[in-house]
Amino acid sequence: MFENFASVWTPVERSALLNKQPISVELAGEKVALFRDKSGSVRALIDRCPHRGVALSLGTVTPDGCLECAFHGWQFQGDGACSHVPLNPEARRDLLSATALPARELGGLIWIYTAPGATAPVEPVAPDGLVRDDVARAVLVEDWNAHWTRAMENMLDSPHLPFVHRRTIGRALRAQLKPNSKMHVDWEETPFGGRTTGWLDDTPNQAVLEFYRPNMMALHIPIPGKHFRIHAICVPLGGNRTRMIIVGSRDFLKLPLFDVFFRKANFKIIREDRAVVESSSPSEVPPTAAERSVETDRATLQFRRYYHQTLLGGDRRK
Ligand code: FES
Ligand SMILES: [Fe+2]
């Protein structure tokens, strides 16, 4: 279950899309049914009825907050316990549970922990741009035909800015480029992942990029006295498909009508990334020795190490 993406928290969908009807989301090769219980809390069950394998997300939520399967009406609580089996009053319901996953709502997003159980050993860690009350957020979602690891590396990669984004966020950097320019890339370990800063020649660049394990980037765009960030979350769907959730946060121009503008600007930027990410071969990032690397690959190599040692290698301490 959740092969190569087990025992981590990840956002999967926007909270606003989950109302009275259950929905289905895909995550690392599994389908997950999301619904709201009686208190309005998000609950997550593997989207497969233990009876005959029907998608639980086709069902309905009962007045007492259980998910009722569309096929024979079995009902399941948010922790997976089977609470009703129509026409079979003597059924051993304790043997008929669905598989629950821990779920949370944070920053307008629904998060899932990728291991079965009603509780998780740790809580999700979100960048403050996702959770602060005093900022406005503009969200956009796009599915890419790419392995999530290539998308994640792209989001942590500063040296591509003057090339891929020569007409947008990399324009100023491109104008500074000289034939013998040198980019410096720093990497600092943090409790949530890491922080990287990059600068060109002698010009300090205060833009900071943070990596939140396992699949999130937060870019701090320097505007004196302002909060202006772009977050990119690379959600593995399955195979070589990735859902990109892009959240821009700002503490200026906060009226919702400006969301359209910020969404459009971010859409233009990630569309520039999409073509190069989808073209990468092999789709999944290979072991480091299989590709040639240079000094400015510092941040992406850190991610690659985390991916191979922790997510693929199963070492949760790293
Ligand atoms: S398949 Fe779900 S109740 Fe029968
Ligand atoms: Fe980019």
Distance of CA 127 to CAs 70, 206, 209, Å?
38, 18, 11
Q: Which atom of ligand 1 is nearest to the CA of 73?
A: 3
Give the pLDDT band (50/70/90) at residue 314.
low
pLDDT top residue among 189 and 200:
189
Q: Mean pLDDT, the chain, as a whole number?
A: 94
Ligand 1, atom 1, residue with closest C-alpha: 52
* Helix H or strand E segment including 163: helix 161-164
- Domain residues of the chain, as ranges? 9-113, 128-311
Whether 128-311 and 9-113 are alike in CATH topology: the answer is no
CATH numeric code, 9-113: 2.102.10.10
Pocket of ligand 1 (CB under 6 A): 49, 51-52, 54, 69, 71-72, 74
Q: What is the pLDDT of residue 206?
A: 67
- What is residue 244's predicted lDDT score, i.e. its pLDDT? 98
**Residue 173 φ/ψ, nearest 5 degrees:** -65, -40
Task: Kindly state the percentage of the chain with pLDDT values over 90.
Answer: 87
pLDDT at 317: 43
Measure CA of the first residue to CA of the last residue in the chain; give whole Å: 21
Ligand closest to Cα of 85 equals: 1
Residues 34-48 pLDDT 10s? 999 999 999 999 999
Q: Could you give the dihedral angle defined by the CA atoms of residues 238, 33, 113 and 38, in that order, rounded to the nearest 10 degrees?
A: 170
Between 35-44, 111-120, 165-174, 307-316, the lowest mean confidence (pLDDT) is in 307-316
Q: For residue range 69-120, what is the model confidence (pLDDT) as tens digits?
A: 999 999 999 999 999 999 999 999 999 999 999 999 999 999 999 999 988 9
d(C-alpha 279, C-alpha 298), whole Å:
22
Residue 275: band (very low, low, confident or very high) from pLDDT cuts 50, 70, 90: very high
What pLDDT, on the 0 to 100 scale, is given for residue 93? 97
Taking CA atoms only, the protein residue closest to ligand 1 atom 4 is: 72
Confidence class for position 167, pLDDT limits 50, 70, 90: very high
Q: What is the mean pLDDT of residues 277-302?
A: 94
The pair of three-digit structure tokens given for residue 36, joined into one six-digit string: 């709201």
Q: State whether CATH 3.90.380.10 applies to domain 128-311.
A: yes
Instruction: Give residue-wise pLDDT tens across range 220-256.
Output: 988 889 999 999 999 999 989 999 999 999 999 999 9
| CA 209-212-214 angle, 5° bins | 130
Ligand 1 atom nearest 54 alpha carbon = 1
pTM: 0.94
DSSP helix/strand/coil, 227: coil
